[in-house]
C-alpha cells in the first residue's frame, strides 16, 4: 500500500431495520463511502454489472463513487448498521466487497456507531476509533479497477427515478439510447431478471412502506405503486416477500 495520507470527513452512522423484505432504491454518486455490519438478515448489493451477496455477520464496504442499490430478506428481521464518511485518498480504488472480520472488529463498528450518537467528546472518540478500524481493515481490502456497463447504469438510474410513472420497455430503451432487446439482454445477463421484475421490486418496497406507516387500503396502495390490477399486486407481493399484503400488515 502507498504511504500517501488518507483522511476522512463527515463521519456519521445509520441503522436500517426492516421486516421480511426490503428493496433499497440506491444512492447518488455523491453519497458517502460506507462500512456496514449485517446484524440480521441477508441480501445483495447490485452495482454496475455486479452482484455482491451478503449474509448475517458480514462486514461490507460500499464506495461513494458508484451507483449501488440493494435487496434484503429477513426471517423475519433485517438490520444493518453503517459507518459512513467521505474518504480522501489519492487513487482510492476499492470496489464493494466483504471484509474479513473477527468479532472484535464487528464490536468496534457498533461501539463507534453508539459514540456518534453522543456529545462532542464522544464524537472525537468515535473518529479516533474509526481511524484505528480503518487501519485494521484497509490492509485486508482488495484494491483494483473494475469495469461496468454504462447502459445498464443508465437503465437502473432511470427505473429508480421513474418507478411511479407509466412504464414501458420502449421508454426505458429510449432513455438508454439502445434497442429494447439490448435492455432485456443486459438485465437478464447482469442481474438475472427482467426490467419489469426490477421495477416491481421497487414498487413492492414502496408498498411495504405504506403498509407499515399508513392505514390505506390494499386496493389504494396497489394503485399508488403503479399496479393496474389488485390481484396482480398481490401475486407480485407474495412472490417477493413470501406473504400477502394483508398478512404482512397484520404481522407488524
Structural domains of the chain sorted by starting position, each given as residue range(s) with its CATH number in brackets:
7-137 (2.60.120.280), 150-251 (1.10.10.60)
Amino acid 121: pLDDT? 96
Amino acid 91: pLDDT? 65
Amino acid 68: pLDDT? 79
Amino acid 29: pLDDT? 43
Amino acid 92: pLDDT? 64
Per-block average pLDDT, block size 10, for the chain (252 residues)? 72 92 66 92 80 93 80 91 88 83 96 96 97 92 72 85 87 94 89 87 87 91 91 92 88 73
The CA angle 177-202-146, to the nearest 5 degrees, is 55
Place of cell 387500503: 217
Amino acid at each position: 500500500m502507498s504511504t500517501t495520507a488518507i483522511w476522512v470527513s463527515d463521519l456519521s452512522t445509520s441503522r436500517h431495520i426492516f421486516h421480511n423484505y426490503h428493496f433499497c432504491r440506491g444512492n447518488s454518486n455523491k453519497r458517502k463511502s460506507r462500512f456496514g455490519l449485517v446484524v440480521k438478515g441477508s441480501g445483495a448489493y447490485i452495482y454496475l454489472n455486479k452482484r455482491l451477496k451478503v449474509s448475517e455477520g458480514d462486514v461490507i464496504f460500499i464506495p461513494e463513487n458508484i451507483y449501488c442499490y440493494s435487496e434484503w430478506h429477513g426471517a423475519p428481521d433485517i438490520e444493518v448498521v453503517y459507518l459512513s464518511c467521505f474518504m480522501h485518498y489519492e487513487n482510492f480504488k476499492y470496489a464493494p466487497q466483504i471484509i474479513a472480520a473477527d468479532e472484535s472488529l464487528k464490536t468496534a463498528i457498533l461501539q463507534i456507531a453508539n459514540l456518534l450518537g453522543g456529545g462532542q467528546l464522544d464524537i472525537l472518540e468515535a473518529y479516533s476509533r474509526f481511524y484505528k478500524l480503518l487501519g485494521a481493515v484497509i490492509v485486508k481490502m482488495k484494491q483494483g479497477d473494475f469495469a461496468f456497463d454504462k447502459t445498464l447504469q443508465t437503465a437502473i438510474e432511470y427505473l429508480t427515478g421513474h418507478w411511479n410513472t407509466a412504464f414501458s420497455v420502449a421508454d426505458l430503451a429510449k432513455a438508454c439510447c439502445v434497442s429494447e432487446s439490448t435492455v432485456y439482454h443486459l438485465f437478464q445477463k447482469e442481474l438475472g431478471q427482467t426490467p419489469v421484475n426490477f421495477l416491481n421490486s421497487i414498487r413492492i418496497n414502496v408498498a411495504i412502506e405504506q403498509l407499515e406507516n399508513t392505514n390505506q387500503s390494499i386496493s389504494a396502495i396497489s394503485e399508488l405503486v403503479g399496479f393496474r390490477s389488485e390481484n396482480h399486486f398481490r401475486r407480485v407481493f407474495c412472490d417477493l416477500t413470501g406473504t400477502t399484503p394483508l398478512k404482512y400488515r397484520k404481522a407488524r
